[in-house]
Amino acid sequence: MDIDSAKKRIEELREIIEYHNQKYYVEDNPEISDFEYDIMLRELEELERQFPELLTPDSPTQRVGGKPLKEFETVIHEVPMQSLTDVFNENELYEFDNRVRTALGFQPVEYVVEVKIDGLSVSLEYENGVFVRGSTRGDGITGEDVTQNLKTIRTIPLRLKENIPYLEVRGEVFISRDDFIKLNDKREALEQPLFANPRNAAAGSLRQLDPKITARRPLDIYVFNIQQVRGRQFNTHVETLDYLKSQGFKVIPTYNVFNDIKQVYKEIMRLGEERGMLPFEIDGAVVKVNMLAQREELGSTSKSPRWAVAYKFPAEKKETKIKEIFVQVGRTGALTPNAVLEPVRLAGTTVSRATLHNIDYIRQKDIRVGDTVLVQKAGDIIPEVVEVVFEKRKGDEKEFFMPETCPVCGAQVVREEGEAVTRCTGIECPAQLLRNIIHFASRDAMGIDGLGPAIIEQLLDRNLIKGAADLYYLNFEDVKNMDRMGEKSARNLLDAIDKSKERDLKNVIYALGIRHIGQRAAALLADHFGSMDRLMQAPVEEIVQIHEIGEKMAKSVVNFFKQEQTKDTIEKLRKAGVNLSKLATNDSADNRFKGYTFVLTGTLEKYTRNEATSIIEKYGGKVTSSVSKKTTFVLAGEEAGSKLDKAKKLGIKIINEQEFEKMINQ
């Protein structure tokens, strides 16, 4: 294909792809399958690879492009991104209306009422119809350039339908309720910290220095204001919203016009009643003067416009009764008590359940079955019990106790000293299977290439596996027929599973996910006992004799191997041919780091922490987490913190990554 033909086809593909982006992400009305869309996108990527001179910043292929940044550039907002004055009741709203009408000489005034989405405010700038820059609000005057991250949000058009000279719009980046729950479910399965609420999740996702991380987060946006425009004239705010919608923007979903402040208040109350049914979080309603000329006349203070206010909804509390308390088991094995309530209308939805967090929370508030309580649904998705209405207690309420065995699988539950959470110890517990198998297959455990969370979820959903050991009994035909697999992918996956049978005992021990047993401890246990059978029979007294293994870790090991589910898993692994013994080592192995203790700090370019640790241990060295006088070397990468400072004070030798490579390559 010559360059002219390529250019024509590229332009055609970009137009078609952006059309279907609009249909799928903005209008929620897809016209083609994901497969057809992916084929077109792949063709475009290939053409741009062959003809790099035809690649442009507004191409759909650039939504997940860009290298990780060391830091965000500063952006000065030409038009300040001001915050709104808050009002909290009907009287304060009427006072706002009186100020507006007085300042305008009692002209007729129209107000637009919009939902106030609880997200992160951003500015989007377009030159000649092309998206050129996106930034956070910051302090209203100075923000951060997050252009590459914003490009990953598919509801942001990279090119407008009209070639307008300049346009700056303001919008709110957010994560929907459903996507927030799914995001936290995945983070819990991967043992990552959970986000407190959708707003925190959106803000944290948008401010990632690596756009590829942002692209994996379910960010969305609603645009609600034109900040600046050249080449167009508008008379009202509603006209600007209609124009933005015509240009492919996802515009704020609810905006109605009223000329009476009492109607405005009625609309705000309606939104407050219905907010629980919206797919996204809102924390109020925004009231704006509709006529742009009147806005100019009203002007702004140094902090806020005089032509708009935000009506903030209070955290609504309602009284109800606890009918019973049941325990839910999460993906990490955490047991969470939940209250079954007499149904009550709260923030627009009917609430019949509420979280009680943990047993300490229950004891602290003295919550009992049969109590009358106050529940609220504030910034979080899940309602919670706030307090007991003690004056309504009758005396027949029942105290709640956490179960001694898991309500899902029957395994023993433990609550360790210093922790608020009670956990299930069952390795085959259905509630935590996804998390357990993800860990089992990970690179530092059984190292099963190609077995990611999405495939594991499919295997579980199709009942092809009920535990990690079942991976070794998978049928080729079943795997081949899974979504997006096929014969070659299925064969590669089964080969990787088969290859993992040869892993060392230390990998198998680590893969089992024994609480408090990381890679280092797993290696120490493997070295000492030499086989899984000996380890399973070992008492606490013998395990604590191993240097670096404490009593807490030893008890965790013994309790783990007492469980019938553990014994069942080990037996399945044995029958499948998985190695359960320490592999023979070469006596003449290179022990150049023997007697050396390393501490790792900061970010290394070439190695992950686990990879560097494996190399050190391979050569007979030891890695610890804290710097002391016994430390031999501190291996410091970028952004090294307090460990580096402590090493300098103690006179410990500090090496960089290049020096470390010399040590292992000499």
**Is residue 234 within 8 Å of 226, Cβ to Cβ?**
yes
Domain end call among 270, 290, 312 = 312
Whether 114 has a pLDDT exceeding 90, the answer reads yes
User: What's the CATH number where 20 sits?
Assistant: 1.10.287.610
Query: Which one has a higher pLDDT value, 266 or 15?
Result: 266
Which of 471, 444, 477, 445 is closest to 456 using CA atoms? 471
**Residues 233, 360 within the same domain:** no
Structural domain boundaries, residue 214: 85-312
Domain end call among 392, 418, 452 = 392
Q: Enter the tokens of residue 616.
A: 């050190």
**Residues 308, 340 within the same domain:** no
Catalytic residue among 23, 67, 116, 575: 116
Rounded to the nearest 5°, which phi and psi values hold at 249? -75, 150
The Cα 350–Cα 476 span in angstroms is 47
The Cα 475–Cα 464 span in angstroms is 9
Identify which of 515-519, 602-606, 653-657 has the greatest average pLDDT: 653-657
Which residues face 116 on adjacent strands? 284
For residue 338, being part of any structural domain is answered with yes
Q: Which amino acid is at 481?
A: N
**Residues 148, 286 within the same domain:** yes
Per-residue confidence (pLDDT) for residue 24, from 0 to 100: 66
Q: Enter the tokens of residue 540.
A: 């606490």
Per-residue confidence (pLDDT) for residue 586, from 0 to 100: 53
Helix (H) or strand (E) holding 81: none
For residue 402, being part of any structural domain is answered with no
The Cα 83–Cα 518 span in angstroms is 48
For residue 78, being part of any structural domain is answered with no
* 563, HSE (Cβ side, Cα atoms, 13 Å): 25
The Cα 656–Cα 647 span in angstroms is 13
**Residues 99, 7 within the same domain:** no
Query: Which one has a higher pLDDT value, 377 or 96?
Result: 96
pLDDT, tens digit, 9 for 90 and up, residues 611-622: 788 788 878 888
Per-residue confidence (pLDDT) for residue 350, from 0 to 100: 81
**Which one-letter DSSP state was computed for residue 628?**
-
Per-residue confidence (pLDDT) for residue 239, from 0 to 100: 97
Per-residue confidence (pLDDT) for residue 26, from 0 to 100: 65
The Cα 567–Cα 70 span in angstroms is 48
pLDDT, tens digit, 9 for 90 and up, residues 396-444: 999 999 999 999 999 889 887 777 889 898 888 888 888 889 999 998 8
Which of 58, 53, 47, 22 is closest to 37 using CA atoms? 22
Q: Enter the tokens of residue 231.
A: 């080449």
Sign of the CA dihedral running 157, 163, 168, 169: negative
The Cα 543–Cα 337 span in angstroms is 34
**Residues 486, 621 within the same domain:** no
Which of 567, 610, 593, 594 is closest to 655 using CA atoms? 593
The Cα 291–Cα 446 span in angstroms is 65
**Residues 479, 331 within the same domain:** no
**Residues 324, 256 within the same domain:** no
DSSP structure string for 330-394: -TTSEEEEEEEEEEEEETTEEEEEEE--SHHHHHHHT--BT-EEEEE--SSSS-EEEEE-GGG--
**Residues 49, 169 within the same domain:** no
Per-residue confidence (pLDDT) for residue 317, from 0 to 100: 83
Residue bearing tokens 């609810």: 254
For residue 80, being part of any structural domain is answered with no
Within 284-339, residue ranges assigned H as helices are 292-298
The widest CA-to-CA distance across the chain, in whole angstroms, is 95
**Residues 303, 325 within the same domain:** no
For residue 582, being part of any structural domain is answered with no
> Mean per-residue pLDDT for 158-182?
93
> Mean per-residue pLDDT for 245-271?
95
Which residues face 350 on adjacent strands? 345
**Which one-letter DSSP state was computed for residue 321?**
E
**Is residue 471 within 8 Å of 573, Cβ to Cβ?**
no
Q: Quick check: is 116 catalytic? A: yes
**Total count of domains within the chain:** 5
Residue 501 backbone zone (phi > 0: left; psi -120 to 50: alpha; other: beta) = alpha
Who's near 487: CB < 8 A, 6+ residues apart? 480
The Cα 142–Cα 77 span in angstroms is 6
Find the helix packing angle between 90-103 and 261-274, rounded to 10°.
140
pLDDT, tens digit, 9 for 90 and up, residues 469-505: 999 999 998 898 888 788 888 999 999 999 999 999 9
For residue 305, being part of any structural domain is answered with yes
pLDDT, tens digit, 9 for 90 and up, residues 54-109: 888 788 887 765 555 567 899 999 999 998 999 989 999 999 999 999 999 999 99
Residue 254 pLDDT grade (very low, low, confident, very high; cuts 50, 70, 90): confident
Percent of the chain with pLDDT over 90: 53
For residue 71, being part of any structural domain is answered with no
**Residues 96, 224 within the same domain:** yes
Under DSSP, is residue 236 helix (H, G, I), strand (E, B) or coil?
strand
Which of 334, 26, 514, 93 is closest to 355 using CA atoms? 334
**Residues 287, 240 within the same domain:** yes
The Cα 80–Cα 349 span in angstroms is 37
Per-residue confidence (pLDDT) for residue 493, from 0 to 100: 94
Which of 587, 594, 582, 524 is closest to 553 using CA atoms? 524
User: What's the CATH number where 263 sits?
Assistant: 3.30.470.30
Per-residue confidence (pLDDT) for residue 381, from 0 to 100: 60
User: What's the CATH number where 636 sits?
Assistant: 3.40.50.10190
pLDDT, tens digit, 9 for 90 and up, residues 323-362: 999 999 987 788 999 999 999 887 667 889 998 989 999 9
Q: Across the chain, what does the average pLDDT equal?
A: 88
pLDDT, tens digit, 9 for 90 and up, residues 539-575: 999 999 998 898 989 999 999 999 999 999 999 999 9
Q: What angle do CA 121, 127, 132 make, to 5 degrees?
A: 55
Domain end call among 516, 542, 576 = 576
Residue bearing tokens 């190292």: 447
Q: End-to-end distance of the chain based on CA atoms, in angstroms?
A: 51
> Mean per-residue pLDDT for 381-409?
91
Sign of the CA dihedral running 273, 274, 276, 280: negative
- For 433, 504, 625, the CA distances from 608, given in Å and listed in that order, are 26, 21, 15
User: What's the CATH number where 323 sits?
Assistant: 2.40.50.140
The four Cα atoms 236, 239, 241, 245 give a dihedral, to 10 degrees, of -170
Q: Enter the tokens of residue 299.
A: 């002007």
The four Cα atoms 93, 97, 100, 103 give a dihedral, to 10 degrees, of -120
Report yes or no on whether pTM surpasses 0.75: no
Q: Which amino acid is at 176?
A: S
Per-residue confidence (pLDDT) for residue 33, from 0 to 100: 67
**Residues 274, 382 within the same domain:** no
The Cα 158–Cα 58 span in angstroms is 5
Helix (H) or strand (E) holding 143: strand 142-144
Query: Which one has a higher pLDDT value, 18 or 286?
Result: 286
Q: Enter the tokens of residue 353.
A: 């359940």
For residue 530, being part of any structural domain is answered with yes
